[in-house]
Amino acid sequence: MIIQKGTVEDFLYDYRLLIGSLLLIFSIIVSFFRFGLDLEKVITVSFTQMLFAQAIYGYCRKGWVGIGPGGLDKDASPVGRALLTLFAAFAYVLIFFLDF
């Protein structure tokens, strides 16, 4: 039996809903643990992280990779799309450690 190995993009596409859900859930849970019931900070941090998480999710679903109003279309350079996604992932994780 021959096992075909897919690309990383295929793997991310297959698990895009799980990845997007985890990005959202981790953001909200960590925000509540850090700030308790200070809803203003929880919403601000979660919203900021979602601006970067949308780029990660967009890359996973092979679509528009955007941070806020700008980004790269699905037909743009694969290297540029990957770099923008890496920047978004770095910023998403960095926000977990910022002091507000």
Give the chain's domain count: 1
| pTM given for the model | 0.83
Per-residue pLDDT tens digits for 3-45: 556 788 888 888 999 999 999 999 989 988 888 888 898 888 8
Per-residue pLDDT tens digits for 54-91: 999 999 998 999 988 888 998 999 999 999 999 999 99
Is residue 78, in this structure, part of any structural domain at all?
A: yes
Is residue 27, in this structure, part of any structural domain at all?
A: yes
Taken as a whole, the chain contains a residue count of: 100
> How many CA atoms, within 13 angstroms, populate the side-chain half-sphere of residue 29?
6
The rounded distance, in Å, linking the Cα atoms of 28 and 54 is 15
Is residue 99, in this structure, part of any structural domain at all?
A: no
Is residue 23, in this structure, part of any structural domain at all?
A: yes
Note down the domain range covering 45.
8-94
